[in-house]
Structure 1
Amino acid sequence: MSSTFDPADGDRARDLDRLVLHSWSQHGSVNPFTVARGEGVKLWDHDGREYLDFSSQLVNTNIGHSHPRVVEAIQRQAAELATVAPATTNLRRGEAAERILSKIDAMAAVFFTNGGADAVENAIRMARVHTGRAKVLSHYRSYHGNTGAAVNATGDARRVGNEFATGHVHCFGPFLYRSEFWAETAEQECERALQHARRVIESEGPSTFAAILVESVPGTAGILLPPPGYLQGLRELADQHGIVLILDEVMAGFGRTGHWFAHQHDGVRPDLVTFAKGVNSGYVPVGGVIISEPILDTFRKRAIPGGLTYAGHPLAAASIVAAIDAMTDEGIVEHAAHLGADVLGPGLAELAERHAIIGEVRGRGAFWALDLVTDRGTREPVDASVIGRLKGLLMDRGYVPFAADNRLHVVPPLVMSDDDARTGLAILDDAFTALT
């Protein structure tokens, strides 16, 4: 395999990269990892060096890199019909909607977008049209995308400097390890977080809220599994005041947590669900909104005020059909559940026993976070320099990491074998030993 790689291509890629302004970065201040090839759970640089991908890039390559069924479907569709206007009827688009709806209960239709941010954007628009109201309640610890309303709904620091949309209200969601509510148990955290959300809605005026928008499992914010009863409590709060419940499944959906959708762990019924990333593992840009019958009925009576040139793009639709079929036939979602319960969960817990820098391990399926601290007693987060050194140690050992704030997220493709997962855990152990 090494003979297929040319280091000169890597030099040229790095030289041309000066023409690219990278997301969330100061131009010229970054030195990105140069990727030449991907297959399964592995990546290679132009020198032919092999890496295990424990980032799934941006937690989206759920089916792994270059899955042959998805690649072949895109190639076949490109030869048949490479693009078509969204106002047309296209068989592949309908099949993609059918496959998505087959994996979720009691939902009626799909509105396709180009990615996750504009999925959230359009879900908010739908809720506002449906209710005739404007305000949206979302969590401070959240990320919903970088378009106008989506970034205002976002709770993390990336919102600051982008606050140009109106009608956005935030509250703290549950996070027992760093509780805002002085809670000591999951039950207390759930009860107090719900009361906090309730009081924010009451104080802002319940009749002014169009939507409650939350990630089923906040991902970039730290893989914050909701305590039992929290999502159901939001459902009841929404029903009480005629508010639309939007669950953001852009990162947590399509098998990442060991169910097709993360909210299925909690048995909650959403009104709208946003998706992207894992629906086709990012092979072609795509996202969308899954719509319940009552909201779909609103748009039977009036036109939806929005659309996108590439909505339901045939290449994206073909990749969705192939990805969902492959994930179903190959038991990939079930494997993700096994990976979390039998390999990653126990293995990460053992790492925490050996390395005091790991304050907490949390997650499920192939969706885990290590909360890194300077002291377990105070839970003071490590700073960016520690995370930078850790990322360097991992890359040197052939492990592609995903880090955010003081956390290392362990989020490999769902197709990762037990052996590769254990290899990754051993690399983590070695890197933490070298770090501390």
Structure 2
Amino acid sequence: MSATASTHASNAEVIAHDVDHVFHSWSAQAKLSPIAIRRGNGCTVEDFEGREYLDLSSMLVNVNIGHQHPRVIEAIQRQAAELATVAPANANPARARAAELILSHAPEGFNKVFFTNGGADANENAIRLARLHTGRDKVLSQYRSYHGNTGAAIVATGDWRRVPNEYATGHVHFFGPYAYRSEFWSSDEQQEGERALQHLERVIQSEGPESIAAILLETIPGTAGIIVPPAAYLPGVRALADKYGIMLILDEVMAGFGRAGEWFAFDAFDVKPDLITFAKGVNSGYVPLGGVVISEEIAAQFDERVFPGGLTYSGHPLACASAVASMEAMADEGIIENAHRVGAEVIGPGLRELAERFEVIGEVRGLGVFWAVEFVADAQTREPISEEFMGQLKNAMLERGALPFTSANRLHFVPPCVITDEEARRGLRTLADALAAVAAG
């Protein structure tokens, strides 16, 4: 099937051609059931037979600015016409401007950006920088986390995907705060944070502080459940890092650039990291891009010393041009503010209202356009709901014209940052109707 022919194809034809030739990630290949997507606009996508879906997944929680934003598309086209690619050793204005804009949203004391192709290699290089800067090896990260699918990043990840890929060394995991399913027998959020910090300090002491290069955290663990930390937790981690001379890396790959209603999610907490990783929302994945925002102290280590890392497509001009257009549009159009407001005024209250109506909802949590609805079979024991229920819920939402993001016993309500109040309410109605349908059998 040619690209031209595909525009006139049916969903079934596109899907058949795809599964015949494409090896899909995180999937048993014989059990694939993809949805064919032809085009998108704002918060909606359309299949090859004209059916529209409200994208409540932002594809992979990355299309923050929405589908086909005209300023971003135009910037890519303009850059492609001028210079489609350039080696990273050369200077390029799109790359420099993208770095300048990213740094303008970082805390004081950050002066350089190392560009990568995505979030995994951003975390990979942040780990490398921390190890080179400290002369230490170990990296501490949470069990409930995802940091990417490359050598060190996947081993830093805490979930099941780490286990078949544990080839990198020097990684230690610990439990972060998760009050709804506390590992610390806590009675409230504050106590959960305090006990989680005590646990982390004991891990640091037990591993030997002099051996630890970095603590790597998702500011808000995303794929693991959109687990918003207690207010004092991240400042407490910062204090522990300072106490033991450890670098703090905050992974903003999913949570950053509007997703949590802030430019960086850590802006909602009183904390300043040593290294910041980003990807996804910086240009909504229109062209692959990620990177590490580097503090002056760490960057200065490489003024006379060669940094032993690089990528052929580091700071690719098409990607950087799209990032510049995206960040400028976000600022000009109040997109970050919209994400913050719609989360506080529409999505959050709407999901909490559903939790009151449906006993199967155990907890609702989130910020901005970054929300999780956790489903339980029993409200008292908090036993997770079955895979069968989640499959039925996903299908019911698709049937009603919404593209959901489900993971384990959760639905992640993660639309683009440009979602309108009415679109958010439509998504909430769709979820309510789907829940009612599944409950009715």
So what's the TM-score if we normalise by structure 1? 0.98
> What is aligned with 1:281?
284
TM-superposition CA deviations, 1:13-68 (whole Å, max 9, x none): 22211211100001121110110110100000001001000000110000000000
> What is aligned with 2:368?
365
1:270 aligns with 2:267: no
Asked if the contact 2:140/2:156 (under 8 Å) is kept, the reply is yes
Asked if the contact 1:183/1:189 (under 8 Å) is kept, the reply is yes
TM-superposition CA deviations, 1:255-292 (whole Å, max 9, x none): 11111000111120100000000000000000000001
Q: Which amino acid aligns with 2:97?
A: E
Alignment partners' CA distance in 1, 2:402 and 2:287: 25
> What is aligned with 2:64?
62
> What is aligned with 2:13?
12
Q: Which amino acid aligns with 1:70?
A: V
Asked if the contact 2:6/2:14 (under 8 Å) is kept, the reply is no
Alignment partners' CA distance in 2, 1:421 and 1:118: 33
> What is aligned with 2:257?
254
Q: CA deviation at 1:108?
A: 1.1
> What is aligned with 1:156?
159
Matched position secondary structure for 1:160: helix
Matched position secondary structure for 2:354: helix
Q: Which amino acid aligns with 1:161?
A: P
- The runs of 4+ residues in structure 1 deviating greater than 6 Å are none
Matched position secondary structure for 1:137: strand
Alignment counterpart, residue 27 of structure 1, candidates 29, 40, 58: 29
Q: Which amino acid aligns with 2:144?
A: R
Alignment counterpart, residue 207 of structure 1, candidates 205, 210, 233: 210
Q: CA deviation at 1:10?
A: 2.8
Alignment counterpart, residue 87 of structure 2, candidates 81, 85, 88: 85
Alignment partners' CA distance in 2, 1:300 and 1:234: 29
Alignment partners' CA distance in 2, 1:5 and 1:167: 47
Alignment counterpart, residue 145 of structure 2, candidates 139, 142, 145: 142
> What is aligned with 1:172?
175
Alignment partners' CA distance in 1, 2:193 and 2:241: 16
TM-superposition CA deviations, 1:280-313 (whole Å, max 9, x none): 0000000000001110111113111100000000
Q: Which amino acid aligns with 1:63?
A: I
> What is aligned with 2:129?
126
> What is aligned with 1:38?
40
Q: How many residues align?
A: 433
Alignment partners' CA distance in 2, 1:312 and 1:28: 37
Q: CA deviation at 1:435?
A: 1.0
Alignment partners' CA distance in 2, 1:53 and 1:373: 25
Q: CA deviation at 1:7?
A: 6.0
Asked if the contact 2:260/2:367 (under 8 Å) is kept, the reply is yes
> What is aligned with 1:97?
99
Alignment partners' CA distance in 2, 1:206 and 1:14: 52
Identity of aligned residues (%): 62
Asked if the contact 2:372/2:413 (under 8 Å) is kept, the reply is yes
Alignment of 1:389-404 (within 5 A): 389-404=392-407
Q: Which amino acid aligns with 1:364?
A: L
1:221 aligns with 2:224: yes
So what's the TM-score if we normalise by structure 2? 0.97
> What is aligned with 1:353?
356
Matched position secondary structure for 1:111: strand
Alignment partners' CA distance in 2, 1:368 and 1:168: 29
Asked if the contact 2:7/2:38 (under 8 Å) is kept, the reply is no
Alignment partners' CA distance in 2, 1:393 and 1:7: 27
